[in-house]
Amino acid sequence: MVDQSAVGREFTPVTARVEPGRLRFFLDTLGERNPVYRDENAVRSAGYAAPPVPPTYLFCLEMMDATIPFEFLSALDIDLARVLHGEQRFDYFAPVVVGDVLTFRPRVASVTEKKGGAMTLIVVETGVTNQDGAHMANVSRTVVVRNPRPS
């Protein structure tokens, strides 16, 4: 069972490039048709230097380029079969655009027991910086771990 000793634990940073082909595939999968993500005129009219990414793309990008996706599960000895996705949050400080090279630095921000220990909520916060070291975003995800019942 994960406890408070996990708070502050950091995991392997992930570096990923925002590539136009992968972004287009993501947009097609979502059915996203907003021209600001695809049309150069719309991109320039909106004031971007290159096509921006939609808000949830950072989660996908981190997972695609991680050597060990969901490293925190194995590092904290969490059985994937006991995990539920609880919440996701994206806080942007600047636009992320095609061509950016991003570094994701995940760490455990909190561990909270609920329902008398029947479940544990783990918040993993990930700071995202670009190739210039600018802090672009924070991505936060809450996972719910169903704990085994005591015998």
**Looking at residue 107, what is its pLDDT?**
97
Residue ranges of the chain whose pLDDT lies below 70 = 151
Residue 65's Cβ-count burial label (10 Å; 0-12, 13-18, 19+) is middle
Whether the CB-CB separation of 2 and 76 falls below 8 Å is answered with yes
Listed in sequence order, the residues at least 6 apart from 101 whose beta carbon sits closer than 8 Å to its beta carbon are 15, 16, 17, 18, 130, 131
- Any idea which fold 4-146 has? Thiol Ester Dehydrase; Chain A (3.10.129)
Question: CA–CA separation, 8 vs 107, rounded Å?
Answer: 6
Q: Report the candidate in 63, 59, 61, 53 with the shortest Cα–Cα distance to residue 32.
A: 53
pTM assigned to the model: 0.91
**Looking at residue 151, what is its pLDDT?**
64
Domain ranges of the chain: 4-146
Whether the CB-CB separation of 100 and 89 falls below 8 Å is answered with no
What secondary structure letter does DSSP report for 11? -
β-bridge partners, 85: 143
Number of H helices, E strands in the chain: 4, 5
Listed in sequence order, the residues at least 6 apart from 18 whose beta carbon sits closer than 8 Å to its beta carbon are 53, 61, 96, 97, 98, 99, 100, 101, 102
